[in-house]
Structure formats: structure tokens, C-alpha cells
Structure 1
Amino acid sequence: MNTLVTTPNIPRPDDFYAELLALHEGLSKAQSDAVNARLILILANHIGDRAVLSEAMAAARDG
């Protein structure tokens, strides 16, 4: 079983953040929300480990 990685783990995180922001440029709130939902589902499918996904959801909710 894997565990959720919560320590910095993305190379060049500022570049990733800029790309994430650019993904939403020109979109309405509804379109932006839909893109976020699709991205979450794509990444959740990639992770594929229900325990890790549950851990991530709890961490996101708890802030």
C-alpha cells in the first residue's frame, strides 16, 4: 500500500503553477470548474490507489 506524499515533490513547482493558471485563462467560472473536475478525475485514475485517494480527499478537506 502506498501513502500520500505531502512533501514537495514537483520539479520546478513555479513552472507547474504557472501552467495550471494558464489552463484556466479565458474560461468562465463554470468552464474552469469543469476543467478542475476533469483534471482531478484524470489524476485520480492515474493514482489508482483508493487508500491514497481517500487520504488526499481528507487532507484537502482538512486544509
Structure 2
Amino acid sequence: MTQLNLTPNFGDEADAFYAELIAAQADLGDEQAADWLARLTLILCNHIGDREVLRQAFELAHKHHD
């Protein structure tokens, strides 16, 4: 069984990545940003392609919803 990698994977670039993520949505309204995030999620899920890893990610995201 493949395991979801929870080890930080951005090295020294974590802050830069976060800034890029925010900047990519900066000119979008709330609904547009939600749509953009949904499309990005589907693109990245397709790239990952491992349904077990994706199930683990879904569960983790759901646990941290509150």
C-alpha cells in the first residue's frame, strides 16, 4: 500500500510557494477562487493518480476541517 507523504517537501521554498499560491488567486473573486482551487485539485489528483494516496489525503483534509 502506498502511503501519503507528510514530510515537508518544499525545503527552503515553502514561503515562496505559499506566496505563489496566494498570488495565483489574487485577482479572483471568492467564487472564482473556489472554482480555481477545485480545478487545481483535480489536475493534481490526476497527476498523483494513486487512489489510495488520494483517499489518505481526503481523510487527512477532512480531519483538519474544523
TM-score relative to the length of structure 2:
0.90
- Structure 1 runs of 4+ aligned residues shifted over 4 Å read none
Aligned residues: 63
Q: Which residue in the other structure is 1:37 paired with?
A: 38
Cα deviation code 1:15-40 (max 9, x no counterpart): 10000000111111010000000000
Query: In angstroms, what is the RMSD of aligned CA positions?
Result: 0.9
How far apart, in 2, do the equivalents of 1:51 and 1:10 lie? 23
Q: What is the rounded CA distance, in whole Å, between the counterparts of 1:49 and 1:56 in structure 2?
A: 11
In structure 2, the partner of 1:2 is 2
State percent identity of aligned pairs: 48
Q: Quick check: 37-46 or 10-19, which moved more?
A: 10-19
The TM-score with structure 1 as length reference comes to: 0.94
Please report how far the alpha carbon of residue 2 of structure 1 lies from its aligned counterpart in structure 2 after TM superposition: 2.0
Where do 5+ consecutive residues of structure 1 fail to align? none
